[in-house]
């Protein structure tokens, strides 16, 4: 096998997130690796062999990491077939809700597991991933997982696994909330008589530009909001509606609590 900056990886699940991560690894020099997905998507490059089933993996293949990117509802069905890689590989799970203890129950109690939650801006290498190492993870394995996750954006580590559920709700689902904002801005613009094509351009550029400004600024979000809000101006009038007790603040808190609860339910 050819060698690169990133060692051989076994990717289980070739959905959008798995594909985004694989693209990031290839950009950094991926050693010959294998992806397993029953849908048999086209191979993303010569470094990757795509197989339909774990049974097709060559006997001599020894990945440094097994990345679990299947739907959490399929974990019990899919994961036991990969337990044979446990002695040498670290298992990096990006499955929502699935706990380290639960994964060790499926793969073997001695297996090294890192639980992580990336988000979809990984597709443009602008993601944020929060990860938690299991008790059997060595410093070298943690460093490898950090390298794999950093290929698609920023990485933060926590020692308290319980934090991964609200992380899933906030940053994992966060892009959907931002896209909803763009969707609603566009709709509201059309309702005010702005042509549809201009409404879409305005909404998308406003959300994308505001995100870039937030990323570039050292000020917190509240300070940036106040800087846009002139006293007795149009923005202040709009925020008076959005920040009512039953509006955005309360609704977003309820939404994050609901998503956190669902993440915990997926563990079962």
Same-domain pairing of 62 and 100: yes
Domain contains 83: yes
Q: Return all residues near 174 (Cβ < 8 A) that are at least 6 apart.
A: 119
Residue 42 maps to a domain:
yes
The answer to whether residue 4 sits within a structural domain is no
Domain-located, residue 249: yes
Q: Among residues 51, 156, 170, which one has the least CA distance to residue 114? A: 156
Say whether both 178 and 74 belong to one domain.
no
Q: Are residues 140 and 22 part of one domain? A: yes
Residue 55: CATH number of its domain: 3.40.50.720
Asked whether residue 250 falls in the same domain as residue 131, the answer is no
138-183 pLDDT, tens digit each: 999 999 999 999 999 999 999 999 999 999 999 999 999 999 999 9
| 23 & 140 share domain | yes
pTM of the model: 0.91
How far is it, in rounded angstroms, from Cα 42 to Cα 214? 37
Task: Please say which residue of 133, 164, 195 terminates a domain.
Answer: 164
Domain total of the chain:
2
- Verify that 155 and 132 share a domain, yes or no: yes
Helical H segments across the chain, by residue range: 16-27, 75-78, 100-107, 139-150, 164-167, 174-191, 196-216, 221-228, 234-242, 248-265
What is the predicted pLDDT for the residue at 2?
45
State the pLDDT at residue 240.
95
**Same domain? 28 vs 152:** yes
Same domain, 196 and 253: yes
Whichever domain contains 255, its CATH number is 1.10.3730.10
- Is there a single domain that holds both residue 145 and residue 186? no
Q: At what angle do helices 196-216 and 174-191 cross, to 10 degrees?
A: 140
pLDDT for position 64: 97
Using CA atoms, how far apart are residues 109 and 45, in angstroms rounded to an integer? 35
Per-residue confidence (pLDDT) for residue 4, from 0 to 100: 65
Find the domain containing 129 and state its range: 9-164
- In tens digits, the chain (268 residues) has pLDDT values of 345 689 999 999 988 899 999 999 999 999 999 999 888 777 777 889 999 999 999 999 999 999 999 999 999 999 999 999 998 999 999 999 999 999 999 999 999 999 999 999 999 999 999 999 999 999 999 999 999 999 999 999 999 999 999 999 999 999 999 999 999 999 999 999 999 999 999 999 999 999 999 999 999 999 999 999 999 999 999 999 999 988 999 999 999 999 999 999 988 6
Please tell me whether residues 19 and 125 are part of one structural domain.
yes
Same-domain check for residues 24 and 64? yes
User: What b/e sequence results for 188-223 when a residue is b if at least 16 CB atoms lie within 10 Å of its CB, and e otherwise?
Assistant: ebeeeebeeeebbeebeeebeebeeeeeeeeeeeee
Tell whether 178 is covered by a domain: yes
Residues 24 and 146 grouped into a single domain: yes
């Amino acid at each position: 096998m050819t060698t690169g900056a990133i060692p051989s990886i076994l990717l289980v699940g070739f959905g959008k997130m798995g594909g985004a991560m694989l693209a990031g690894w290839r950009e950094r020099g991926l050693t010959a690796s294998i992806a397993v997905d029953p849908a048999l998507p086209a191979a993303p490059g010569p470094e990757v062999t795509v197989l339909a089933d774990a049974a097709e993996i060559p006997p001599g293949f020894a990945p440094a990491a097994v990345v679990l990117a299947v739907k959490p509802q399929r974990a019990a069905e899919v994961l036991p077939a990969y337990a044979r890689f446990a002695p040498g590989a670290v298992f990096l799970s990006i499955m929502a809700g699935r706990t380290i203890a639960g994964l060790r129950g499926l793969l073997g109690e001695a297996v090294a597991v890192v639980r992580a939650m990336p988000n979809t801006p990984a597709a443009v290498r602008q993601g944020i991933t929060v990860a938690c190492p299991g008790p059997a993870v060595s410093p070298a394995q943690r460093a490898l997982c950090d390298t794999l996750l950093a290929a698609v954006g920023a990485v933060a580590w926590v020692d308290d696994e319980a934090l991964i559920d609200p992380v899933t709700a906030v940053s994992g689902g966060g892009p959907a909330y931002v896209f909803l904002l763009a969707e609603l801005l566009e709709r509201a613009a059309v309702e005010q008589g702005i042509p549809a094509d201009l409404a879409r351009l305005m909404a998308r550029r406003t959300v994308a530009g505001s995100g870039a400004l937030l990323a570039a600024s050292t000020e917190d979000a509240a300070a940036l909001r106040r800087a846009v809000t002139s006293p007795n101006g149009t923005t202040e009038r709009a925020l008076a509606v959005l920040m009512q007790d039953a509006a955005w603040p309360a609704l977003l808190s309820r939404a994050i609590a609901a998503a956190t609860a669902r993440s915990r339910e997926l563990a079962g």
